[in-house]
Structure 1
Amino acid sequence: MAVHYPHPIIAKEGWPHVAIAGFVLFVVHSSFGGTWSWPFWIIFAFVLQFFRDPGRLVPLVKDAVLSPADGRVIIVEKSFDPYANREALKISVFMNVFNVHSNRSSVNGTVKKIEYFPGKFVNADLDKASTENERNAVVIDANGQTVTLVQVAGLIARRILCYAHLGDKLKKGERYGFIRFGSRVDVYLPLTAEPMVSVGDKVSATSTVLAKLPGLD
């Protein structure tokens, strides 16, 4: 099933950065020629790749909880979900600067709670990032099941963007946020969920099934 995506291949959050990098490149290349401009070509290429945001296909898998982010799985364990006050299965996906940083809903459901917490900017690959770093939690009622998605800022991330609002009905694969530069997303699921990934696995937002949770739409 295709995801209807209203933006071009470059994320809307990246347009100003692409424009600035392109303008500086043009000025340097026009004024000093190719010898001086090659570092700015590298910067321009990096900005383009960082803000890329391709459309994705939702896998037709029953009871699937989809990955909310591109990156590498760094945690699969039983943990406590402080946002929904429960024991949960926690799956964390770490994004480096070369991953797509658009965040997408893991399930179909209604947003029941949104909490933002200012905090530190330690390496998002560390366990303590979940509780100490700047973060934004979205708690979703997915057909009676509670799924919590937490955007966590990283070492150089300085901006978490969340476009979901209380009462919004999200669809699997729907874009709901963006994190600039290295970061992570923590997913908290009911203990009845069956993980389909392991630590070290590389995953793609929307395309990868993180877990199966009986009773989802």
Structure 2
Amino acid sequence: MTIHKEGYKSIAVTAFIFAVLNLVSFYFISFNWPWLSWIIFIVTFGLLLFIISFFRVPNRKLTKGDNLVICPADGKVVVIEEITDVEYFKDRRIQVSVFMSPANVHQNRNPIGGEVVYNQYHKGKYLVAWDPKSSTENERHSVVIKNDRAEILVKQIAGALAKRIINYLNVGQKVEQSAEYGFIKFGSRVDVLLPVGTKVRVQLNEKVKGGVTVLAEL
């Protein structure tokens, strides 16, 4: 396991603040109320470990397959439904949504390999990620990857807690299936729009892993 580069600054700032807090606690509190100083240390140390876990990148054997759509994020499947896409395709699509809790890995991966043909950031609200309106009203970043088999839209959606979406892709870029393409700090939601007729291989409430779980079969 490694720590994602997007976490370096957050972890360093948090560690510095907690270190100062513990030094103050040691010099001004520990002599009269040692139990309180220990509580401060335990709480801040636990919070630091929790924040570090937000940015963990576990070692994984990635799944690949020309006829497969791989899950782009860790989390739980919260939506499988047919919708009308108004952003890019302008037709009916199967939407599969994965909710990422703060405890999940927050790295996002390409569901298929191919060429990036669309990349658009949208400003928006910060509704809770499980609200159906979050797909169209929240801050989000949409990408479409195209290959000989299909065009797949994958959408990073900010939530009430996660308000920083990071996307590394550019239009015209060739991408590899299951490779990293972005990061959502502190979790949220990822939507994948599939062609109607695609065989979905996951179920509602199923726990999935980015780059590993087969989301659908083309």
TM-score (norm 2): 0.89
Are positions 1:53 and 2:57 aligned together?
yes
- 2:15 corresponds, among 14, 22, 26, to 22
Q: In 1, Cα distance between the equivalents of 2:19 and 2:186? A: 25
CA shift for structure 1 position 61: 4.8
- 1:63 corresponds, among 58, 61, 67, to 67
- Contact map agreement 2:85 2:93 (CA 8 A) in 1: yes
- 1:189 corresponds, among 188, 194, 201, to 194
Higher gyration radius (CA): 2
- Contact map agreement 2:63 2:178 (CA 8 A) in 1: no
Aligned residues: 206
- Contact map agreement 2:64 2:177 (CA 8 A) in 1: no
CA shift for structure 1 position 12: 0.6
- Residues 77-116 of structure 1 mapped to structure 2, 5 A cutoff: 77-82=81-86, 83-116=88-121
Q: In 2, Cα distance between the equivalents of 1:134 and 1:22? A: 29
- Identity among equivalent positions (%) equals 37
Q: In 1, Cα distance between the equivalents of 2:134 and 2:109? A: 20
Q: Secondary structure at the match of 1:57?
A: coil
Deviations 1:111-145 (A, max 9, x none): 00111111100011111110110111001112241
- Contact map agreement 2:64 2:70 (CA 8 A) in 1: no
**Partner amino acid, structure 1, of 2:21:** V
**Partner amino acid, structure 2, of 1:57:** K
Unaligned stretches of 5+ in structure 2? 27-36
Q: In 2, Cα distance between the equivalents of 1:134 and 1:28? A: 34
> Once structures 1 and 2 are overlaid, which stretch shifts more, 155-164 or 30-39?
30-39
Q: Secondary structure at the match of 1:32?
A: helix
Q: In 1, Cα distance between the equivalents of 2:82 and 2:111? A: 19
- Contact map agreement 2:164 2:184 (CA 8 A) in 1: yes
CA shift for structure 1 position 79: 1.2
Unaligned stretches of 5+ in structure 1? 1-7
Q: In 2, Cα distance between the equivalents of 1:143 and 1:10? A: 35
> Once structures 1 and 2 are overlaid, which stretch shifts more, 14-23 or 195-204?
14-23
CA shift for structure 1 position 62: 5.6
1:61 to 1:49, Cα distance in 2 relative to 1, 3 A: same
Q: In 1, Cα distance between the equivalents of 2:59 and 2:117? A: 26
Deviations 1:57-89 (A, max 9, x none): 222556111000000001111112222222111
- Structure 2 partner of 1:3: none
- Contact map agreement 2:158 2:188 (CA 8 A) in 1: yes
Displaced runs of 4 or more, over 6 A: none
1:134 to 1:60, Cα distance in 2 relative to 1, 3 A: closer
- Residues 160-171 of structure 1 mapped to structure 2, 5 A cutoff: 160-171=165-176
- Residues 136-155 of structure 1 mapped to structure 2, 5 A cutoff: 136-155=141-160
Q: In 1, Cα distance between the equivalents of 2:5 and 2:13? A: 14
- Structure 2 partner of 1:204: 209
